[in-house]
Structure 1
């Protein structure tokens, strides 16, 4: 069991105790408050009022003979007996009421403190939840960084292999033999396709698509040179004019672009928004080794990664890996151009595309 799974289980237990604490503090606190503030004071007032009534009901001032005196004394005696008996009961009631009043007051205070501590606990729980979420996100980022580092290392090896292939690809007569884009770009792109789940967060339901467009200056068009995608995608392999669509816009602006909801974009055409295969994308310009985003030199092409899921890409995670990959493609195309220019008088050969 992973640490993250264990922390999630702990978090569930914390939430259960939190709900129970919230439920348990309501009813006792309400009863204790009502009794301490309403019921107990009323009972105490009634009891004390009764005990304060000490005047005798017999009026001795109106007695005129001995027989009336005897009768009055008998009534006084009976009243004192009843009063003594009721007074004892009243004292017991008063004592119990005062005791319950004290208990209710203490209970109300402690429950109130518990209620206050509950919110302290709630804040602590929320902070804990944030830590758990951050831990999971950090774990995902760390996994992505490790996978990206491995993919970049393998892609660099691929660049070296491709350049070596071009250098050694001469026949006995000295004629330079063309190599297809799949042979040049495939080994470099493969590690990122292989580790796409770790780097970009793809899952079984998200359809991936990696495409490389190379700019053809004579026709002023960005043409698809190489693609690796999910076999469930029905590809069209269309060309893009500079400034048109996310490929053309990225080419013109020479900067990384991310769109995590194609349908909400104000820059894309209706045809781009309607595709079920492309819900989010990231586009990166492919620049020559000596070029940068601030120059007026046109990019070599554009690297595009798309997904059928909304919100697939997080800039902080994918920016460096994809920009590095685009630089590797720029190095390869630049080196290939140098070899071609040394071996032939032409530039890029249109027949080199797949």
Structure 2
């Protein structure tokens, strides 16, 4: 992802919103900028949290998904359609808890950067680029569980 404008972030619930607690972006200047907060059900971060299911989008400009995941109101930015072309939002779950502990998010300005396994394109089957995020979400869940137990 060296040439992408990318983001990796960890959103956690705080009150009635999801706030970014940890982030890494393609540039230090971008990392230090302010971050949006999402309500459960709002945008792909809030949808993943509310539904307790990962959301993976190869092409956010696809009209079938764009309206469902678009930011509105104070979270809408003019650059969203250029900067967030592909994303994966993975809820951080522990056992049978009723709500996720947070959402791990990865975004890219490249179409097709994130795709679950068994997706194909003109050249055949694409690799599952979301699996490393699932593993990271499980590790984060384990760490949070151990922290609570201490």
Fold agreement, TM-score > 0.5:
yes
The match for 1:242 is 40
Q: 1:273, CA displacement in angstroms?
A: 7.5
Larger Rg: 1
- The answer to which structure, 1 or 2, has the higher relative contact order (CA under 8 A, 6+ apart) is 2
1:287 aligns with 2:93: yes
Consecutive unaligned residues of structure 1, counting only runs of 5 or more, are 1-201, 340-354
> Structure 1 residues 320 and 282 mapped into 2: Cα distance closer, same or farther (>3 Å)?
same
> Equivalences for 1:44-123 in 2 at 5 Å?
none
SS at match of 2:138: helix
1:324 aligns with 2:135: yes
CA distance in 2, matches of 1:214, 1:334: 14
Q: 1:223, CA displacement in angstroms?
A: 1.1
Say whether the 8 Å CA contact 1:233–1:277 is kept in structure 2: no
2:109 to 303, 308, 323: 308
Q: 1:318, CA displacement in angstroms?
A: 2.4
Higher relative strand content: 2
CA distance in 2, matches of 1:244, 1:272: 14
RMSD: 2.0
CA distance in 2, matches of 1:273, 1:245: 15
1:268 aligns with 2:69: yes
Q: 1:319, CA displacement in angstroms?
A: 3.4
Higher relative helix content: 1
Q: 1:323, CA displacement in angstroms?
A: 1.3
1:227 aligns with 2:23: yes
Q: 1:250, CA displacement in angstroms?
A: 0.3
- TM, length-normalised to structure 1: 0.34
- TM, length-normalised to structure 2: 0.77
Say whether the 8 Å CA contact 1:207–1:232 is kept in structure 2: no
1:277 to 70, 75, 83: 83
SS at match of 1:266: helix
How many residue pairs align between the two structures? Answer: 130
Q: 1:255, CA displacement in angstroms?
A: 1.1
1:253 aligns with 2:51: yes
CA distance in 1, matches of 2:28, 2:21: 20
1:336 aligns with 2:147: yes
Consecutive unaligned residues of structure 2, counting only runs of 5 or more, are 118-127
CA offsets per residue over residues 70-121 of structure 1, 9 Å max, x none?
xxxxxxxxxxxxxxxxxxxxxxxxxxxxxxxxxxxxxxxxxxxxxxxxxxxx
Say whether the 8 Å CA contact 2:4–2:26 is kept in structure 1: no
Say whether the 8 Å CA contact 2:114–2:130 is kept in structure 1: no
CA offsets per residue over residues 280-325 of structure 1, 9 Å max, x none?
110000012x23xxx6x00000000000111111211123322121
> Structure 1 residues 272 and 280 mapped into 2: Cα distance closer, same or farther (>3 Å)?
farther
> Equivalences for 1:164-203 in 2 at 5 Å?
202=1
